[in-house]
Structure 1
């Protein structure tokens, strides 16, 4: 770490920030601090910060100010400035360097008195966790690599294309001043592309079969019923896969004799991998025929990975990846690519691109450096390339914890012509992968004791009335899932949880909670958006290259399950609605939203509510849309009568009243300064007529602290509020509710381990009503599960305020 001291009588003047920036190594960030009396300014290559919910109280710095000159308004007096909040490793990782002169420590951040200093922005001591720098999202392609040689090739590869339909920027070459994708031409000229695509199809079928096996496992049924489900739903696709692999191995054997040496070599590499996968497929079938268990499901997932590896050498270009540099070796005329971050795993494969032939080839070294990303790759001019640095995963489950650490295993040298890696560190197999582990991997949920629907049903039957009780599932996934909700999938008996973002889990996975068995399911390994993780408004747009959308800074009520399509719809992105299929355990597509639902930061306010007519969407402008599953589009519902107010961030919800076929909307202005006025608006779904209900107890409803989680109990014809009132004389916090038949606000005495928390408000609460079991369920940010059996006749019902 370099530090430039404060100018004084015995110190030279500090170089200008512009001059210093030009001289700073690429792994460092220059932070310029300008002193002042009441206004403090800092220019930084901003990479995020962590303080409370993501924005330090009293500070003018937020994630949206990345890369800008920002002011910090917390006056420390005496000419000193306020905190420089950054996620640079020197500030946050446990191995931060000693505090230099001129900087004092305040809380968990360095605070500069004045001057200019340098902080490592992307590197940390070996083995220490850190967080990656954020990138600007203004350019469509992020996290990619380019290789431009004066008078030579100009090639780009890797990253995420935020505008692309598949999220993959693909291979690009420079045409004048523009980068042009050439993957379609590469595919057309690749004689092995058809075989690649067939293996990928088998891989997709394998992934779906594993999802069916997990569903059968987590159902917790008796052995004979589980066996029947496996025979009907899991084994048929598994048999199909085995037959296809037999045919593919035979076809690859023929391609291994291709007169083109490169083609034959790629085919032989794939054939060896596919032969091993075929043997494993036969073993998986035998295991499933003997009975379903967690070990068998893990083998199915491993077979999916084996098929992915078998397809790789046959493709026209490498699998997509991020933070993987390119290096041009002039002696061989080849561009070298090594490793990278697939976002859900790290790889260590080696590829070369021939600019003259415009072909990619996967190499087959005997061994390779361990998987990594964000490394440096430099050509030496003698036919070798040197690799230095790079990170691996930490699998941290700490709040806003560092997910990356440097490997620190010394330099590695690759002889391009000899296809050989050498280095002082421990080598790995040349097609290895590193996945996150523990609570960030699906195996964590499978490692719990076998689920039993009968045992959990008996536990639910014994629940005391009017008492929130923790269900305590034996395995909970991570990270914390703040700023969202939870939705019911009644056909599959699931709670689906798509939450996180701001200072929270920033992946793409939708959690499944199995209501029959008290089990969480994670459908695929967690993937994170690198330096954008924990942000609020800085999550990438579009699909990533795994064809999954990133979570938004808040998801709130911007997702729901349509009763006709029977998929989860997520409308929190500005332009598109994304589809998630719980049967497949993955995202399956997207389509454009209508103009009335396509507005900036819509994830804060677009509110979805399921009805027998379809999923409904309420906008911040007071408009209502219905999802037409047959047409696969959102259609606006004409409204009449009173004006329907708009939804509000943090402060509104919409509920379906099943007895009257109407929607009930509750909302208040944003902020704690504006209490709820107790008003409810009803929308008659048969006519579109809107009316204000003006329920009794409106004045007392000012005490309701949170409106986002209100759910309708059809058995008791009331809407229970997912919040509690301020303590009464006895110290108890009563729960507000709306009596639909009486058009009045009431309160109930509900005890136990209330998920609303000690302050009566939980912005990360997800609450649903389960009509099948006549129970309320709730999940919190840490995936704890709560259950309530409501019995109003024993809950001391009172008019609200009494």
Structure 2
């Protein structure tokens, strides 16, 4: 963990070096501009980079139309959402308030463009509760205010009841005694988003490969067994999406969230061979509301924001060894998103697209057709499809499952099972006899094909005629559904699972090298491992 932490610190230093050499300010939000009428220059300080708040000073020369980064020492602490305005009498720039994901002291500074110097004038402690001696700003609030012709700084803030207008006459030559208490920083400093700190997971991880492999090799057949780890991935338990599985590195890649759940865009890695969770990077936390109508733009760091939900719109691509989210690609080895989008994929969003890994490349079945990722060209290519096709794919309940024995896809909806053969590009459809116990959908969106058993294991749990709850499988050979006797065990004791224990927030995957099935049970913050044995699985045809 210490080595990884030092590497991350080095990466931050390299980012600062790159920012120091940038010809213009890096992207940010809630970073106001102020015009210096005497110097005819525009001043910018700080801003919200979504994964950090910034503390850099920039000056734009209106005559030459060029930005210049300045490095005054000391500089104010990094912040965003502050007031930045021109003092017409003093002929300086005034800055007040702001946030850095915590309640900052609401200090006041002035900046002299000509001498390139910041000077603190006032420090008002961060206000908590109803009582306040000055303006307040929450962890992501934005200050609203301005300056009058008489250099009086005014700020509109929350009061009890209603709103309060705060006023302060700014005299750059008479700093308040409290100004000595302001936090001073080096120019260009960052304050990272404290919501998710990767170092916390690294310190807790304590991976033990030998112990983890003994656990996997010792799995009793047909028992879902809970894996032990120090700390689960950050975020909510209602992510409403799948989890990609990296078969090259034997790890889950957990990304997603959306409205009414986690909004950060971190990728959590669960190492099966180390039995531990770690975080790919300090995440971006969008300011705007995350909901169904929101577009899915990139963050300032070039990482995609989580859409309404991730649903089934991301998976691992074996040839490239990357995780793909529609036309974006994430490198699990470097733990970074590629800057350039992968062209060629046509779709109508995450609600109408289902992705699935195959040995020849990840596929995406969207309302626009079937596409496969070409790792060498880093682009999507549409595949021919002859024969019947689902009218649409839906994020909740519809499935795309790769069958490695037949080199085909099984695409399921509420009633139909489509078979698509890669060798011929032809598809056929069948309507199986659907047991009532299955409910609305056939595979319910999460399933794993087990090649040595030649069965599709459905993740969702169903209630058997005898009242017990358990897994079902589908047999491609005869097209029928069967009950199994799979059980769940944690700490040596059988766990009685409820019918809805595994749902939209959980995901199942098969590891062909380890020959085990893995289940990221995010709704319960657990990971289960299963060694499936067909002969002793107690298969019994599902009949009404």
TM-score, normalised relative to structure 2: 0.81
Q: Distance in 2 between matches of 1:756 and 1:635?
A: 42
Alignment partner, residue 347 of structure 2: 598
Q: Distance in 2 between matches of 1:349 and 1:624?
A: 47
Partner SS for 1:604: helix
- Greater helix fraction, Structure 1 or Structure 2: 1
Matches within 5 A, 1:731-750: 731-750=467-486
Q: What's the CA shift for 1:561?
A: 2.3
User: Across the two proteins, how many residue pairs are aligned to each other?
Assistant: 476
| Corresponding position: 1:564 with 2:313 | no
- Out of 70, 75, 81, the residue aligned to residue 363 of structure 1 is 70
| Corresponding position: 1:338 with 2:45 | yes
Equivalent residues of 2:356, 2:402 under 8 A apart: yes
Q: Distance in 2 between matches of 1:344 and 1:790?
A: 42
Q: Distance in 2 between matches of 1:491 and 1:693?
A: 34
Alignment partner, residue 578 of structure 1: 328
- Out of 379, 392, 395, the residue aligned to residue 86 of structure 2 is 379
Q: What's the CA shift for 1:495?
A: 1.7
Describe the shift of the 1:349–1:702 C-alpha distance in structure 2 as closer, same or farther (beyond 3 A).
Answer: closer
Alignment partner, residue 250 of structure 1: none
CA-atom RMSD in angstroms? 2.6
Partner SS for 2:210: helix
Partner SS for 2:100: strand
Q: Distance in 1 between matches of 2:271 and 2:94?
A: 49
Describe the shift of the 1:310–1:483 C-alpha distance in structure 2 as closer, same or farther (beyond 3 A).
Answer: same
Alignment partner, residue 222 of structure 2: 466
Q: Distance in 1 between matches of 2:21 and 2:470?
A: 64
Alignment partner, residue 715 of structure 1: 452
| Corresponding position: 1:482 with 2:239 | yes
Alignment partner, residue 770 of structure 1: 511
Q: What's the CA shift for 1:723?
A: 0.4
- Greater strand fraction, Structure 1 or Structure 2: 2
| Corresponding position: 1:390 with 2:98 | yes
Alignment partner, residue 433 of structure 1: 190
Describe the shift of the 1:591–1:411 C-alpha distance in structure 2 as closer, same or farther (beyond 3 A).
Answer: closer
Alignment partner, residue 281 of structure 2: 524
Runs of 5+ consecutive residues of structure 2 not aligned to the other structure: 124-181, 490-494
Equivalent residues of 2:231, 2:277 under 8 A apart: yes
Q: Distance in 1 between matches of 2:538 and 2:472?
A: 12
Describe the shift of the 1:638–1:363 C-alpha distance in structure 2 as closer, same or farther (beyond 3 A).
Answer: closer
Describe the shift of the 1:639–1:798 C-alpha distance in structure 2 as closer, same or farther (beyond 3 A).
Answer: same
Q: Distance in 2 between matches of 1:590 and 1:313?
A: 24
Partner SS for 2:274: coil
Alignment partner, residue 303 of structure 2: 548
Map Cα deviations across residues 738-759 of structure 1 (whole Å, 9 max, x no partner): 0122321111122226898542
Map Cα deviations across residues 535-593 of structure 1 (whole Å, 9 max, x no partner): 3332542x33212221211212212222222222211xxxxx11211222111134465
Describe the shift of the 1:697–1:356 C-alpha distance in structure 2 as closer, same or farther (beyond 3 A).
Answer: closer
Matches within 5 A, 1:72-87: none
Q: Distance in 2 between matches of 1:666 and 1:720?
A: 14
- Out of 604, 609, 615, the residue aligned to residue 356 of structure 2 is 609
TM-score, normalised relative to structure 1: 0.56
Alignment partner, residue 160 of structure 2: none
Partner SS for 2:212: helix
| Corresponding position: 1:657 with 2:406 | no
Q: Distance in 1 between matches of 2:17 and 2:374?
A: 41
Partner SS for 2:7: helix
Map Cα deviations across residues 681-706 of structure 1 (whole Å, 9 max, x no partner): 21122112222244455555447686
Alignment partner, residue 542 of structure 2: 800
Equivalent residues of 2:80, 2:99 under 8 A apart: yes
Equivalent residues of 2:50, 2:299 under 8 A apart: no
Equivalent residues of 1:703, 1:726 under 8 A apart: no
Q: What's the CA shift for 1:761?
A: 4.6
